[in-house]
Amino acid sequence: MVVSLRYLRYSLGGWAVTALSIALLGSASGAALAQTSGADPVRPLDQATSSLSIASGQQLMAEAEAAIADQNYPLAETKLTEARESFNQLSTYYQELAQMFVGVDTQLNRSHREKALATAQLRDQATYQLALVYRAQDQPNEAVPLLMEILRSQQPTRDLGQRAYQQLFELGFVDEPYNGRAATTSPEATTPAE
């Protein structure tokens, strides 16, 4: 289907045509740049400073730790929120990459899945620390949703999940403690049918 430039300008406005033209030219010139060996090489992400790196998120966590030690809870809250968002984004990207390689390349699928799990664990740790910061500021209404997120992700069978549940118990959100015991069945469920 061929659409005239005049129709596009009328229906989308002049800016859309310009953007479309730039995008079309950009993709052609981008391919040409990729083939040009004389151009400056593309630099990879700087793992120390890019917001899309594990090292950057860990640096934010370290800065938050220092702020907590100084009892500068607003700064700690900001740093932990940034770290949490960064790790969440990374985990999502690695999950998407892992899914793209299912049935295509087992090694790449496994590698990206492992990075997704590692960054999700870091996200949950940042979330837990953020919940503790809210608790230290006497803001349980902010802490409880974060602790619930951790439990959804970690489950109460893992250490971080158990610690999150313990925080919920200490805050009075739940009535019964969890000691990491195995699930039990009720006597009715074990009685044989007559």
Mean pLDDT by groups of 10 residues along the chain of 194 residues: 43 42 43 49 63 88 96 96 95 94 92 95 97 96 97 93 95 88 47 40
> What are the backbone dihedrals phi and psi of residue 61, each rounded to the nearest 5 degrees, phi first?
-65, -40
pLDDT on residue 52:
81
pLDDT on residue 43:
62
* Overall pTM surpassing 0.75 (yes/no): no
Q: What is the DSSP string of the chain?
A: ----HHHHHHHH-HHHHHHHHHHHHHHHHHHHHHH-SSSPPPPPP-TTT-TTSHHHHHHHHHHHHHHHHTT-HHHHHHHHHHHHHHHHHHHHHHHHHHHHTTTT-HHHHHHHHHHHHHHHHHHHHHHHHHHHHHHHTT-HHHHHHHHHHHHHHH-TTSHHHHHHHHHHHHHTSSSS---SPPP---HHHHSPP-
